[in-house]
Amino acid sequence: MKTTIFYFSGTGNSLFVARKLAEKLEDCSVQPIATFSADGQIGGEGERVGFVFPSYYGNLPRIVRRFVDGVEIDPKTWLFGVVTMGAPFGMGNGCASELEKALAKKGLTLRYSRGVSMPRNYVLKYNPLSSEKGAKYNAKADGRTSKIAKEIKSEKSKIQKCFITSDDLYGNIETLDEKFFTEDSCCGCGQCEMICPVKNIKMVDDHPEWQHHCEHCIACISWCHDAAIQYGEKTKERGRYHNPEIEVSELLVSDY
């Protein structure tokens, strides 16, 4: 059965999981939500469409919600979701409930959802795991995706969800990027502008300026070559994480 997976990923964890699923599902393409443009209706009878994305405080990333709201999906499509999360499964799966609601508003049915534990990496709030330790999570996630792929192939209807969600991240998200800044070590390469999935960063005089419609995917700060991007004062003392099996070039949404 033909399968299409749409993913959203800042640090590479969800892209890693999406690819592992695609390998096991076969006849499966992987498409980035940030740049995908549909010519018409997607899916259809005898086809599967999945969404792989991180949990943001137990809620859907806004970019994922906008994508689901905007894309036209054939109602005969078998739909599934896979959530990557650093939080315990209960809290992280809150966004599976939100995905189910978003699809239901369009007359669509979510048939399956599961969570995959990946390294906590929200450097704005805490010190993330190193990429080396993250490799251990990748190994476990590989096994987890094998089980998920088997269940999806069998078209087993099962939704692992929780009704606990939080809007803590989104209450004043338009102003949250005001704390981003660059240190003198910034080389002006423009990578942060190229990797931002919502074009929230513009290079001005070889330095990034944030445009106040941030998703807080932390791609910019996590992938910065020299850790020149900071958020307030605390990130200076914290490490940076990105998935060790993903290259930054695989997440760029525009060219240098």
Residue 129, pLDDT score? 83
Rounded Cα distance, 120 and 250, in Å:
21
Among 24, 85, 14, CA closest to 246: 14
For the domain 2-159, what is the CATH code? 3.40.50.360
- Enumerate the domain spans of the chain: 2-159, 173-250
Predicted pLDDT at 166: 57
Convert 61-92 into a string of H (helix), E (strand) and C (coil).
CHHHHHHHHHCCECCCCEEEEEEEECCCHHHH
**Pairwise CA distance, residues 97 & 111, whole Å:** 12
**pLDDT one-digit tens code per residue, 180-195:** 999 999 999 999 999 9
**Which tokens sit at 81?**
């979701």
Whether 203 contacts 210, CB under 8 Å: no
Confidence at residue 162, expressed as pLDDT on a 0 to 100 scale: 61
Question: Which residues, including other chains, have CB under 8 Å from residue 146's CB and lie 6 or more apart?
Answer: 24
* pLDDT < 50 regions, the chain: 90
State the pLDDT at residue 73. Answer: 97
Query: Residue 255: what pLDDT?
Result: 62
| Alpha-carbon dihedral angle through residues 17, 23, 27, 32, given to the nearest 10 degrees | 30
Write down the mean pLDDT value for the chain: 90
Of the CATH numbers 3.90.1310.10, 3.30.590.10, 3.40.605.10, 3.30.70.20, which one belongs to the domain with range 173-250? 3.30.70.20
Note whether 129 and 120 are within 8 A (CB).
yes
pLDDT given for residue 235 in this prediction:
96
CA angle 164, 17, 56 (to 5 degrees): 30
3-state secondary structure of 139: helix
Tokens, residue 238: 């914290």
* Amino acid found at 15: L
Q: To the nearest 5 percent, what fractions of the chain are helix, strand and coil?
A: 35, 20, 45
Instruction: Specify the pLDDT at position 87.
Output: 60
